[in-house]
A and B are shown apart, each in its own frame.
Chain A
Amino acid sequence: MTWLLWRQGRSENLLVAAMLGAVAAFMLLTGANMHSAFGSSGLSQCTSDAAKLPTICSLQVNIFVQRFDGLNQLGPWLSLVPGLIGVLLATPLVLELDQGTYRLAWTQSITPRRWLTIRLALLLLAVAVCGLTVIALGTYWRQPLDSFSGRVGPSAFDLEGIVPIAYILFAAAAVLAIGAVSRRTGLAVAGGFGAYLLVRLVLRSARDKLITPLHTLSRPPSGPQGIRHSWIISQSYTMPGSRGNAYNVLRSCITSDGSLDSRCMSHHNIFSSWTYEPPSRFWPLQSIEAGIFLVLSAILIAVAVWWIRHRIA
């Protein structure tokens, strides 16, 4: 049975392997580059010694971030990878329903129930293996960037922790459900990937509502305590206890070289207002988001199983 699944899904499995291989090659090469640049620039000392950060390190950090900004911007594109993997892993089962070969498989000596159980078990195993690979690669790759921007922000969050496994599972489950109901591979692949993108986008834009973010004020130019490694959702200026618009007052604090005069701001009682998720919320947020994807996946898989067992059977 395992042989059959490997043989039948050979092209899809090879595609998944090729895609993971390409992502791995890219991440290991650029990652090694980043790691060595990080090590040789002495930035590692900056991140460990918080007191020195504003003075000595900010320039070095800026240089590093600018150099690797291109890679940092790749985050959203890398979000497509779990979706593509999930779609490909679920495709062979849909093809079996689409092309009618399930009728051949179900009339061998193995019972349809067992056939479906083994298929789903191996699919889950493949999802877990691919998910762990993505997490391992992503975590290694992001490590230098994470050491000063933290992991709770979106560009790191989507590639680390446990959510990549849930993303892959959801894409696979969506393809399975659409494939079982429609028995059309093209529709299942397109619809499943579309559902993946849609739910990812919705949850991505609602992530700051999963746990109410913290709000705090600080005196510019310094940030509040504990803002380091946080996911900063918004930052603005405010004048507590005053009805005036902080930004109108702020204009008078612009110096001749275009920067803001902190003494002037302090004089007008202008504060920085921060909305952020602190780094301690990385795992709670990961658990909630992964949980949502897992529940949705479980529902979709249940629909697929029910449909295969009762409507197709």
Chain B
Amino acid sequence: MTVRSALSCEGLGKRYGSTWALRDCTLRIPAGSVTALVGPNGAGKTTLLQLAVGMSAPTAGEIEIFGWSPQREPQMVLPRIGFVAQDHPLYRGFTLADMLSFGRRLNARWDEKLARRRLDSLGLQLSQRVGKLSGGQQAQVALTLALAKRPELLLLDEPAAALDPLARREFLQALMEGVAEEGVTVVLSSHILADLERVCDHLVILSRARVALADSTEEIARSHRLLTGATRGVDEIAQLHSVVHANTTDRQTTVLVRANGHVYDSHWQVSNVDLEQIVLAYLALDPVRTPEQPVMSA
């Protein structure tokens, strides 16, 4: 059975001047999933999201949203997406009533009731001016506008970055409540996984403009193993499984592998790793490093 893709890209690349912001990106985000797009700042998360909403054109490759190109068929893509940019831009001089009017006039599928209900539950009055709201409230208003569009795909760029930990939790909770009934596909980017771990079921790790890993969290947790043993080389294990990260001290060697099937080796003690550790290992991965300089730290 094939699951419909909400977002798919093939060899996607974007270059600014001589620097690739995103390169050789091939992935598929299934409809109905909640995907975390994780990577350090400058890894290409924002670039990928901007390509997805048609705000920038690919330098190489293709990207499709529900089978349509955001660049060539924006009239098909735009009504189906909700997008909140990193700094959640809003018209600062507008009242909330003006903001709703903006959404209503520019979107055929606008859900006024939903928008009013959300603002109400946030304790916001329609007469309040956007510029006078706190950062957290503005983020919530931006999310409200995106949700009231009734999108099939919701893309959020660092939605929690500007928020304090409490507001962050409330925001994510509101988000998940907002999308729970609708079966909306969600893609959220973040440079930290901590918040997203609980809400996402798929994970895309971007590092240095490339996709380091893309899979369901279940599959990722299942396939990654931490091997611990007496100090030794990792060549042998690297022939069978892909080594993500290896760490050797005088006393022992620990290796994180993406297992190719079952790991059975009497030299190693095999254990499970949690998602955050896996992500950190991938983010520490330096793809520029050549085989002569093994991935190792003393």
Does A8 contact B54, Cβ atoms closer than 8 Å? no
**Sample of 17 more A-B contacts, CB < 8 Å, known A99-B92, A105-B106, A110-B106:** A3-B105, A4-B102, A8-B91, A8-B93, A100-B87, A100-B89, A103-B55, A103-B83, A103-B85, A104-B89, A104-B142, A108-B78, A108-B107, A109-B78, A109-B107, A310-B57, A313-B56
Contacts of A75 in B (CB 8 A): none
Q: Please name 21 pairs of A and B residues whose Cβ atoms are closer than 8 Å in the assembled complex, sorted by A.
A: A1-B105, A1-B106, A4-B102, A8-B94, A11-B93, A99-B89, A99-B92, A100-B89, A101-B90, A103-B83, A103-B85, A104-B91, A104-B145, A107-B78, A107-B82, A108-B103, A109-B106, A112-B54, A112-B55, A310-B57, A313-B55
Task: Fill in one digit per residue for B101-120: 1 if any A CB lies within 8 Å of its CB, else 0.
Answer: 11101111100000000000
Contacting B57 at CB < 8 Å: which of A11, A105, A313? A313
Q: What is the interface of chain A, defined by CB distance below 8 A to chain B?
A: 1, 3-4, 7-8, 10-11, 99-101, 103-113, 310, 313
Q: Within the assembled complex, what's the spacing in Å between the Cα atoms of A310 and B56?
A: 8
B201 in contact (CB, < 8 A): no
Contacting A104 at CB < 8 Å: which of B75, B90, B109? B90
Question: Interface residue count for B (Cβ, 8 Å)?
Answer: 32
Contacts of B149 in A (CB 8 A): 108-109
Does A109 contact B83, Cβ atoms closer than 8 Å? no
Which 5 residue pairs across A and B have the least CB separation, nearest first? A108-B106, A107-B83, A111-B74, A109-B79, A100-B89
Q: Give the most central of B91, B92, B107: most A CB within 10 Å.
A: B91
Q: Within the assembled complex, what's the spacing in Å between the Cα atoms of A285 and B63?
A: 54
Q: Within the assembled complex, what's the spacing in Å between the Cα atoms of A115 and B73?
A: 15
Contacts of B56 in A (CB 8 A): 313
Given A104-B90, A107-B83, A4-B106 contact (CB < 8 Å): yes
B81 in contact (CB, < 8 A): yes
Does A111 contact B89, Cβ atoms closer than 8 Å? no
Q: Within the assembled complex, what's the spacing in Å between the Cα atoms of A108 and B85?
A: 13
Give the residue name and chain of the A residue nearest to B142 (CB).
A104
Does B90 contact A109, Cβ atoms closer than 8 Å? no
Contacts of B107 in A (CB 8 A): 108-109
Contacts of B74 in A (CB 8 A): 111-113
Q: How many A-B residue pairs have CB under 8 A?
A: 70
Q: Within the assembled complex, what's the spacing in Å between the Cα atoms of A3 and B91?
A: 14
Contacts of A4 in B (CB 8 A): 102, 105-106
Q: Give the most central of A111, A112, A113, A310: most B CB within 10 Å.
A: A111
B246 in contact (CB, < 8 A): no
B98 in contact (CB, < 8 A): yes
Q: Within the assembled complex, what's the spacing in Å between the Cα atoms of A112 and B105?
A: 15
Q: Within the assembled complex, what's the spacing in Å between the Cα atoms of A112 and B75?
A: 10
Q: Within the assembled complex, what's the spacing in Å between the Cα atoms of A1 and B225?
A: 55
Contacts of A109 in B (CB 8 A): 78-79, 106-109, 149
Q: Within the assembled complex, what's the spacing in Å between the Cα atoms of A185 and B38?
A: 34
Give the residue name and chain of the A residue nearest to B146 (CB).
A107
Q: How far is the CB of A92 from chain B (nearest CB, A)?
A: 10
Contacts of B98 in A (CB 8 A): 7
Does B101 contact A107, Cβ atoms closer than 8 Å? no
Contacts of B82 in A (CB 8 A): 107
Does B105 contact A100, Cβ atoms closer than 8 Å? no
Given A100-B87, A101-B90, A107-B103 contact (CB < 8 Å): no
Q: Within the assembled complex, what's the spacing in Å between the Cα atoms of A256 and B185?
A: 100
B139 in contact (CB, < 8 A): no
